[in-house]
A and B are shown apart, each in its own frame.
Chain A
Amino acid sequence: MLRFISGKFLFMLLSMFLLITATFFLMNAIPGSPLQGEKATSEAVQKNLEAYYGLDKPLIVQYGKYLENLLHGDLGISMKMKFRSVDKMIAESFGPSLRLGITALITSVVVGCILGILAAMHHRKLLDNLAMTIAVIGLAIPSIVLAPTMQYFLGTKLGWFNVAGLDGPLDYVLPTIALASGPIAFIARLLRSTMIEVLGSDFIKTAKSKGLSGYVIVVKHAFRNSMLPVVTYLGYLTAGIITGSVVVENIFAIPGIGKHFVTSIIDRDYPLIMGITIFYAAILMLTRFLADVAYVLVDPRMRSGGKVGK
């Protein structure tokens, strides 16, 4: 177990280093400069700006300097938001995204599992069709359509919710639905197909013949065995959902981190691009890592060190 973890950890560090290097040089290869606005500035101002942000030095020197600062935990200051440190910008905007993301994550898992189990237990019956219809709709309607529709009908027309902002608990409802509808559908379908397979296997038949009730079988035996693919998916989902969605954030005016992924590139805000990429990668790697550990915990076969294809 320890070897497994330390191996994974080393691999994470290496990936991170490669990612930082690739992002740094790719970012500098994009045409356009963070210091070039639409209005022409004099050469002197341009030079002053370059000197200020260290852009007047050769790229490799800038890279070395960046790595050095990074080792000291310094992500630099934003070039667009004057004098705002990148770590502060990330920390501030991550809060709302995290809160909303966790709400959406829990909703996805709970609702997705319920729909999936119902569908599997009533395979090819009305409930199955109903649950899968809901799932298909959730998967088919993108949040860019779902969110404004809900905003208009439930917010403006019916007045049940605020159309924007994240001030009270009720404000979480619409963005959560917008964020969770896709994952709910995915989890439901994933769980349904695995569970139908599991429900048909021998050990379930044995359990049934022992006289266990349908409820006990599903919860104690089938569910646990059907969770593996869902747990794997959760690793990806968590990283994606807690780092915000630029669409949902823009529509509901949520001060989250998602927009930085887009605006930092548009602004050519180099330190913010780097910071946000490293941050996202760290979360992605961490959640993948946790998913791997959870995988081992859920599936005893993994503990013995035997390799099982994922």
Chain B
Amino acid sequence: MLARPATAAEPAVQAGADLPGQIRFNEHIRPIFTAHCTACHGGVKQAGDLSFVYRDKVLPPDGWVVEPGAPDESVLIERITSDDPDTIMPPPDHGAPLSDHDIALMTKWIEQGARWVEHWAYEAPVAPQVPDVGATQWPRQPLDRFVLKRLQEEGIRPAPDAPPQRWLRRVHLDLVGLPPAPAQVEAFLADVQQRGEAAYVAAVEDLLDSPHFGERWASPWLDQIRYADSKGLGADGRRNIWKYRDWVISALNRDMPYDQFTIKQIAGDLLPNASIEDHVATAVHRLSQSNEEGGTDDEEFRVAAVLDRVSTTWQAWQGVTFGCVQCHSHPYGPFEHDEFYRFAAFFNNTADSDLNEEYPVVQVPLDRKDDEQASQLDREIGELKHGIWQQEYALLSDAQAWTPLTDLEATSSNATQLRVERDGAHEEFFTEGTVSRNTDITLRAPLPVAAATDSTSDDLQRLTAIRVTIEPHDGEQAMADSEWGFSLSHVTASLLVPGQDEPQALDIARLVIDEPEPFFDPQESLNPKSNRGFAAYSRIHYPRQAALILKQPVEVAEGTRLRVVLKHRVYLLAAFSLISRRGHLAVSDDPRFTELLSDESLRQQRERLAQRQTERSAIPSTAVPVLRERPDHLARPMHVFERGLFLTKGPEVTPGVPASLPPLPDDLPANRLALAHWMVSPQNPLTARVAVNRFWAQLFGIGIVATQEDFGSSGEPPSHPELLDYLALRFQNHFGWSVKRLLRELVLSSTYRQSSKVRPELQERDAQNRMLARGPRHRLPAEVIRDQALAVAGLLSRKPYGPPVHPPIPSGVWRPFVASDKWNTPERGEENRYRRSIYTYTKRSIPYPMFAAFDAPSREFFAPRRLRSNTPLQALMTLNDATFVECAVNLARRMHQSGDTLEAQLTYGFQLVTSRSPRDTELALLLELCADTAAAAEPDTAAEPDTAAERDTAAEPDAAADDEPPAMTAEEQGLVRAAGVLLNLDEFLTK
């Protein structure tokens, strides 16, 4: 038995005086491990094969450092209390020894049985008891009791309710991102007088029903999932994906339950009877950056996109930083290295790659009214295509139908070198070294024609079809590390008959290939004018096959040779030629091929297909990139990447979720759909908590878990753990994942209704207002600041949805890499100049200056939350930017028209921007400003020249000249200055 040194034991006992009665692992013990131990004994580094991240490395039977119930026998205690510098942990050069208090906690934890509890966020929430807060009128909702309980413990009284008009402005800005109009304020105040509480409820109901609700709440979601209208790297060209943004707005407006919202985005394409909308939802994963720069490795950036989808999915839905598991096991979370790749396997088999064309796409009707009809047509077209393909493919893949060719000769039309090798029953060609662009490969081989005397079963009498097989150069390696693919721009076949000078051209009626929904129509390979056709686009993992079906069987004479010419005309990114690098031929005399052409049922199906396709193409649509699975027989395998490097593949893995979380549903195949159901299952401990925390943070400025992006053990613990669990369960169960019902309860709570006045005595204790002893007050998000300015100026367009718009942008900012990418600003008065900010074109490399200045992320990666800065560049923006100048002028006009006296006009303006009437002192200041302006407008007191403004006008005539209406009277000028002040009020820029 090991005896603890008395010197160490002594203080531990003393420190025990203020120990909690029951030691809780997550609260008391895990933080000690994370702070002092896991750097060496964690997920990445497991010195001495010991890790304080995993229970089985610490506790018996496998662990050896802790003996539950027996601190004296626990190596852990021995090591942390040792006075021998060679034995003590942490070692002296790694950090200070544990405090006596920590040692005492650790000792007591072991005494009490060393109960190991997983990190709170990985355990499903348990319904907490709603706290008893005594007799008080303050709580309006159960959630208020959790808040009040905490305040009572701290000895703090909650703040009084904010005046009704302040609450109204707050709730307008929070729910729809627009301020209430003065008339709405007035009506509300009257309603409160009359109906009291019912007036508040009615106001909230109205806002939740507003079509602007979705426009306000889409922004935070689009931050999470890095929405942009451009591709990212390379030329950062336009990406046509705004239909997804509209889908988010519409889903929020319809109050699509959050579980459905989740399922559709993760796996909408795999839902039975998926509609076009369901497909559009998966575009969320096509928001990853792609690289269209010349000479870039398509596979490298495809893989980067897949890994980004994994990280983004974890971040947005699970609030866990999963990205680090890409390179090694999580340093302090219970996630192992290979689990990242098991998770990545869910996403690795989609058909997209890093291509300019953005395939696969779905044609989405421009008019949403056509969605249903188009969905039906698409389903029917899909079924017909698959039905036809299955019959055709059954024949192509029937090995019995084919006779492989030998004695192959292969020649190339240019510098590309070819050789031929025997492989089993056939001979195949290979290219050697690098290939040249636009290569034609000509293949010649004798046909195995039966001589009259020695017929064998392999010989054929006539020819009905030719099979072309194109393979990766290195078949084994290519499954893991795909090669550049091929595109058969044109294929011809002919017979070289002994005694005839001219080759006898074969009439090919149809190509049948091994893929039901290729990006390009394989029949294009028969069209000499088109460069597209049968292809492995853009990568090849497996042998690929096509059958060229002859229009009619052709009788073959003895000694006849077959000649097939494969033309390649496609190269990508100015660098990579899509050329067949290895392949072989086979032939068939099977009459079933010819029958495929004449079969009545097939003929009818093809006809119906063509008909449906014609109907479908009559619906005006726009192509949106989406997810689609590759067919099973062409599935990409997933491997662990050693140290996160995609070229260093480790063992192959199958799709799966981390073992430390609940298992996948067992009644579904392990694909994205199963994953989606797993995320919203009642057992998933994270999804609902992360979601309610995000909604909470939007309203209160900071989450119950402040690190919204990190619910793991390195994140901050929740300020109100029971409140978080209460809300998560209520959201999930009672509200049926309804976001609107959740928000309704939050904004009607007493917690939210409090006055936001800072109490100096609390500022010292709780500057962040984590205890919620006052209402929220912070600078508004970029979009809301702009929309609000447009709204109070009477300029805002309320038109919903549609392609991105291009409001005024300071000249010189829009200088895209590709000059043809234009920013065409609508003229004054045109609606698209004044649309809500959510519709502004979002280019990653050129963020809209106003948004960037006010901390909107540029959407390269998920941005879990915005930091709120307070800078001089913001002041310059709201004082001088063309949009705000235009707003000031229009606000002045609006004020001018609102009343007869300057006082009335200024009062109205003040009400517009603050939702309250000005005090006399405030009005006096504005009046003074107007008077000063009028005085300055007199010719003899004309102000000093302003160099900055002059230079400005000279250099940028279009920016400045049309931003100011023609000559204003002194009175109007005064109002414009006053309007400028109003648009810059702290109270205007702040919730």
| A complexed with B | no
Residues of B within 8 A of A (CB): none
Residues of A within 8 A of B (CB): none
